Amino acid sequence: MLALYGHPFSSYTWKVLIALYAGEVDFEFHLLDPAAPDSEHNRFVAANGGPLGKFPVLVDGDNILFESTTIIEYLARHKPAMGSLLPEETDAAIGVRLLDRVFDNYVMGPTGEVIGEYLRPEASRDLSRCDAARARLERSYRWLDGWLEYYPAAGQVTLVECAAAPMLHYAHWVHPIAARHARLSAWHAHLEALPPVRRCIEDARPYRPLFPVPMPPPA
């Protein structure tokens, strides 16, 4: 059976969980405990999560993979029920991979900068640095709103949805998606209503006090 090591509040763990839930694939989830760095699961990730020992980590028999995008590509190629995650046609797959990078780098990147600033000790916190990160998020929102004119936002779950749902979820908390981005706002609501995403939202709910940034009322 597949095993996934991660945390329910982690956006990159969500990314893989959404794929697994959408494909209705059996797997074991191993919860990491930040308060117990020497636990068995944490030691496993430290040893198998790449150069920095990061999660999520997927185990499939003798295969151990880290990095959420790589894990999803592996699932798309090796688990028939999950083949729709990535198109077979080369150019279509390139387009999906491009959007995956947009959400990881241009949505979650600045979101992480804001979160990181709030995680600093209050004496060394400079919230003016968040303004630049939020401005980059706003540029990303504008770009995505334009891109959505051409994207068929149906009920499918591909690598795009796996990347978009968690990154927009947390980005919206640090810089709410304004009504002027009508397509993006509607798509964000669509993503949050997808059953695999709702499951992640509910599983993460007990950990919301960990989020350091003041946020809008939770969904």
pLDDT tens column, 26-51: 999 999 988 888 899 999 999 999 99
Ranges of CATH 1.20.1050.10 domains, the chain: 85-202
pLDDT tens, position by position, 136-175: 999 999 999 999 999 987 778 999 999 999 999 999 999 9
d(CA 216, CA 219): 9
Determine the topology of domain 2-83 in CATH: Glutaredoxin (3.40.30)
pTM of the model: 0.94
Predicted pLDDT at 80: 86
Topology at the third CATH level for domain 85-202: Glutathione S-transferase Yfyf (Class Pi); Chain A, domain 2 (1.20.1050)
Sheet containing 57-60, strands listed edge to edge, beginning at the edge strand earlier in sequence: 27-31, 2-6, 57-60, 63-66
Angle in degrees, CA 52, 57, 61, rounded to 5: 130
**Cβ within 8 Å of residue 147, ≥6 positions away:** 99
